[in-house]
Amino acid sequence: MPDKDSTDSAGSTGEGGNNGAVKTRTVTIISDTVNAASGRILEAFTSSSGLVSVAVVALGFLTASVLVLAIGRNPAGIYSAILQVVSGFDLSNGTFNSYDIGEWLVGSMPLILCGFSMAFAARTGLFNIGAEGQYIAGLVAAQFIALYFPPVPVMHWLAAVIGAIAAGALWGGIVGFFKARFKVSEVVATIMMNYIILYLSRYLTLLIPGTDTRKTADFPKTALLSSEMLAHITNQSRLSYGLFLTIMAIFFYWIVMEKTRLGYSLRATGFNREAARSGGINVQANITAAMAIAGAFAGLAGAIVALGSFTYGRVLSGQDGYGFSGIAVALVGNSTALGTTLAGLLFGMLDSAQPLMQDRRIPDEITSIISGIIVVFISLRAGVKILAERRMKEQARGGAQR
């Protein structure tokens, strides 16, 4: 007859073994569930660039809210200022002023166009840091034509805009030619070209009679893009006919890049130059054309700022920064027509909301923090894709072993 103690011991061992097996299975199930969920999340974010952009923007605003709370201020001031910019409604006193909407659009237009300058080159596999220089080339060309072209209504500002587009295209096309013909790095070349055009613009503008160290004589009214209708609608803001030129540029970008043979060949060049060359595509011509068209977008931005926001020519003492901000706009917008437009409106909104946030005791640095966080995290998208690919490989390896 078995001993009672030994029977109890065996029973306890059996129960302990069963409990251990149950715990192991539970841990395995939880681990598999977590891995599957994280895999689905990574797959969702890497398969949709738009979703990544939205998530990153939300993260930027969330971080800004936490920082504002940490210094003892009310983060609601951030969002009430933004609401006032995009809708014109001031919640603090219950008033409406369309001026804020107009100025938001004024600040967004050059950002959208310089974003297209970066995006168009990026879709062709190029990194255009020269949008700032191409913007200056367009701005200076527009100023000279505004001052010296015969003051014929419509033809005057139209000639200035076309001249600005041509100047920007020329300044970008030079870099594209050297890249295609001599394999000169477009990054280095565009950085150098930015400074060349900045100081060349100062020298040439100071030669204009009646120019002081800050500005030239006033432009003739026939050269201006100002619109009485748009100014009336937006309570005398600086919103000009540049709005319609920007809308035309948005459609131009979308049609050329997505619906034409040129756009297909440019995108093919960007995906794989050797494969495109083997397929009969003239890669060198595409590189030159891409940089020229990219420069044309930035040149148009220069014309809109020169003739829409000012009534005189400026002697530039430094860079306006639209070209460099355009890099962030293109990154957040995934270099697409719609995405880049929305990203330009976002960054323009932040710039316009900055003084309104200060009125609400929100530090003016908060908009820079939001922009910086958005750019940093959007730049990490490639790292997320690498992580997702590694996870997929591990899962495939595990499935093969089973």
| Residues 6 or more apart whose Cβ sits within 8 Å of residue 370 | 60, 61, 63, 64, 350
Q: Cα(157)–Cα(151) distance, rounded to whole angstroms?
A: 9
**Torsions phi, psi for 95 (to 5 deg):** -105, 165
Give the total residue count for the chain: 402
DSSP designation for 219: P
* Predicted TM-score (pTM) of this structure: 0.87
Of 62-71, 125-134, 372-381, minimum mean pLDDT range: 372-381
In a domain, 364, yes or no: no
Q: Express each pLDDT in 184-225 by its tens digit.
A: 999 999 999 999 999 999 999 999 999 999 999 999 999 999
Cα dihedral 366→371→372→373 (10° resolution): 90
Question: With 90 as the cut, is the pLDDT of residue 138 above it?
Answer: yes
Residues 24 and 164 in one domain: no
In a domain, 57, yes or no: no
Q: Express each pLDDT in 197-206 by its tens digit.
A: 999 999 999 9
Residues 39 and 128 in one domain: no
Residues 9 and 132 in one domain: no
Question: What CA–CA distances, in Å, run from 353 to 98, 104, 321, 344?
Answer: 14, 8, 18, 14
Q: Is the dihedral of CA 40, 43, 48, 54 positive or negative?
A: positive
Q: Express each pLDDT in 248-267 by its tens digit.
A: 999 999 999 999 999 999 99
Give the mean pLDDT of 280-291: 96
The 8 Å CB, 24+ separation contacts for 147-150 are 147/208, 147/216, 147/217, 147/219, 147/223, 147/313, 149/223
Q: Cα(137)–Cα(116) distance, rounded to whole angstroms?
A: 16
In a domain, 388, yes or no: no
Q: What is the reported pLDDT for 175?
A: 97
Q: Cα(58)–Cα(233) distance, rounded to whole angstroms?
A: 32
Q: What is the reported pLDDT for 395?
A: 66
Residues 46 and 192 in one domain: no
Please, where are the H alpha helices in 124-227?
Answer: 131-148, 155-182, 186-206
Residues 15 and 156 in one domain: no
DSSP string, 3-34: -HHHHHHHHHHHHHHHHHHHHHHHHHHHHHHH
Q: Cα(389)–Cα(383) distance, rounded to whole angstroms?
A: 10
In a domain, 223, yes or no: yes
Residues 123 and 239 in one domain: yes
| Residues 6 or more apart whose Cβ sits within 8 Å of residue 50 | 334, 339
Tokens 């192991």 locate to 24
In a domain, 256, yes or no: yes
In this structure, are residues 325 and 107 in contact, taking their beta carbons and an 8 Å threshold?
A: no
Residues 217 and 349 in one domain: yes
Q: What is the CATH number of the domain that holds 301?
A: 1.10.3470
Q: How confident is the model at residue 61 (pLDDT cuts 50, 70, 90)?
A: very high
In this structure, are residues 100 and 92 in contact, taking their beta carbons and an 8 Å threshold?
A: no
Q: What is the reported pLDDT for 333?
A: 94
Range of the domain at 22: 4-51
Give the mean pLDDT of 372-376: 88
Domain count, the chain: 2
Q: How confident is the model at residue 35 (pLDDT cuts 50, 70, 90)?
A: low
In a domain, 69, yes or no: no
Please, where are the H alpha helices in 88-154?
Answer: 99-123, 131-148
Residues 122 and 254 in one domain: yes
Q: How confident is the model at residue 21 (pLDDT cuts 50, 70, 90)?
A: low
In this structure, are residues 276 and 115 in contact, taking their beta carbons and an 8 Å threshold?
A: no
Average model confidence (pLDDT) across the chain: 89
Q: Coil, helix or strand for 218?
A: strand
Tokens 């800004």 locate to 64
Token pair of 307 as six digits: 């003739």
In a domain, 400, yes or no: no
Residues 146 and 22 in one domain: no
